[in-house]
Amino acid sequence: MTYLASNKPITLPELGRMKKDGEKIATLTAYDASFAALEDRCGVDVILVGDSLGNVIQGKTSTLPVTMEQMVYHTECVGHMAQRAMVAADMPFGSYQESKELAMRNAVRLLAAGAEMIKLEGGEVMAETVHFLVERGIPVWAHIGLTPQSVHALGGYRIQGKGEQAAARMKDDALALQQAGAAMLLLEMIPAVLGSELTQALTIPTIGIGAGPGCSGQVLVLHDMLGVYPGKKGRFVKDFMLEAQSIDGAVRAYVEAVRNGSYPTSEHSY
With beta carbons less than 8 A apart as the criterion, state whether 91 and 106 touch. yes
- Beta-bridge partner residues of 218: 26, 208
DSSP string, 155-172: TSS---S-SHHHHHHHHH
Contacts of 36 (CB under 8 A, 6+ apart): 30, 47, 77, 78, 79, 81, 82, 85, 87
Tell me what pLDDT residue 1 has.
39
| Domain annotation for the chain: domains and CATH numbers | 12-268 (3.20.20.60)
Q: What torsion do the CA atoms of 236, 229, 255, 179 make, to the nearest 10 degrees?
A: 60
CA pair distance 265, 236, nearest whole angstrom: 9
CA pair distance 198, 64, nearest whole angstrom: 28
The burial class, CB within 10 Å (0-12 / 13-18 / 19+), for 246 is exposed
With beta carbons less than 8 A apart as the criterion, state whether 120 and 84 touch. no
Of 121, 188, 197, 256, which is the active-site residue? 188
pLDDT in tens, the chain (270 residues): 344 556 889 999 999 999 999 999 999 999 999 999 999 999 999 999 999 999 999 999 999 999 999 999 999 999 989 999 999 999 999 999 999 999 999 999 999 999 999 999 999 999 999 999 999 999 999 999 999 888 877 777 789 999 999 999 999 999 999 999 999 999 999 999 999 999 999 999 999 999 999 999 999 999 999 999 998 888 999 999 999 999 999 999 999 999 999 999 999 999
Q: Respond yes or no on whether the N-terminal peptide bond of residue 264 is cis (omega within 30° of 0).
A: yes
Known active-site residue 188:
yes
Tell me what pLDDT residue 92 has.
98
Tell me what pLDDT residue 102 has.
98
